[in-house]
């Protein structure tokens, strides 16, 4: 699976370098339909609101619909989206500028498994800001996007 711009090699951490965006699959067709998720944009997380598409708003922010795992009727697109914690957060650095990423990092992973939502972390209408760290997993058909969720009370370093 490609992630537009990821074919130019890997960075020193072993991850693909992305030229401004990564892609996630939608279920509009059986082969693949990609929606661009732009680095630096917000991901509007709406849990439990049914939708099989990931529309972009006027600002170009992609809206992905995540479902609680107890819901039986899942759209095919939602069934491919899974959150899991990412270990060794302190080792993450942005691909573009190499700046450290502070906070708690989580992974949005496109898979064929059911949706797993850590509701202590994600609540309805939470906003998640995409950072410049993205990667393609070696697994078949899986795309991993790294996100930064700031800790409570944390502040960004002054520039």
Q: Are 6 and 22 in contact (CB under 8 A)?
A: yes
Domain assignment of residue 159, yes or no: no
Confidence (pLDDT) at 126: 36
Tens-place pLDDT, residues 90-129: 333 333 333 333 333 333 433 322 222 222 233 333 333 3
What's the whole-number mean pLDDT along residues 22-34?
34
Domain assignment of residue 93, yes or no: yes
Q: Is the dihedral of CA 26, 134, 130, 146 positive or negative?
A: positive
Is the whole model's pTM more than 0.85, yes or no? no
Confidence (pLDDT) at 65: 34
Domain assignment of residue 39, yes or no: yes
Domains identified in the chain, total number:
1
What's the whole-number mean pLDDT along residues 18-44?
32
Confidence (pLDDT) at 1: 29
Domain assignment of residue 78, yes or no: yes
Domain assignment of residue 156, yes or no: no
Confidence (pLDDT) at 137: 27
Q: How far apart are CA 1 and CA 142, in angstroms?
A: 7
Domain assignment of residue 1, yes or no: no
Confidence (pLDDT) at 60: 37
Q: Give me the domain span that covers residue 91.
A: 6-149
The pLDDT-based confidence of 3 (bands split at 50, 70, 90) is very low
């Amino acid at each position: 699976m490609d992630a537009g711009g990821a074919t130019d090699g890997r960075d020193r951490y072993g991850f693909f370098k992305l030229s401004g965006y990564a892609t996630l699959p939608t279920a509009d067709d059986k082969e693949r339909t990609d929606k661009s998720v732009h680095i630096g944009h917000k991901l509007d997380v709406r849990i439990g609101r049914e939708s099989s598409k990931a529309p972009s708003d006027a600002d170009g922010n992609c809206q992905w619909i995540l479902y609680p795992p107890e819901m039986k009727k899942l759209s095919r697109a939602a069934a491919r989206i899974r959150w899991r914690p990412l270990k060794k957060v302190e080792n993450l650095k942005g691909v573009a500028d190499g700046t450290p990423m502070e906070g708690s990092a989580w992974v949005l992973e496109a898979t064929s498994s059911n949706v797993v939502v850590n509701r202590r972390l994600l609540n309805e209408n939470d906003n998640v800001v995409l950072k410049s760290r993205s990667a393609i997993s070696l697994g078949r058909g899986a795309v991993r996007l790294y996100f930064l969720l700031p800790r409570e009370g944390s502040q960004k370093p002054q520039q």
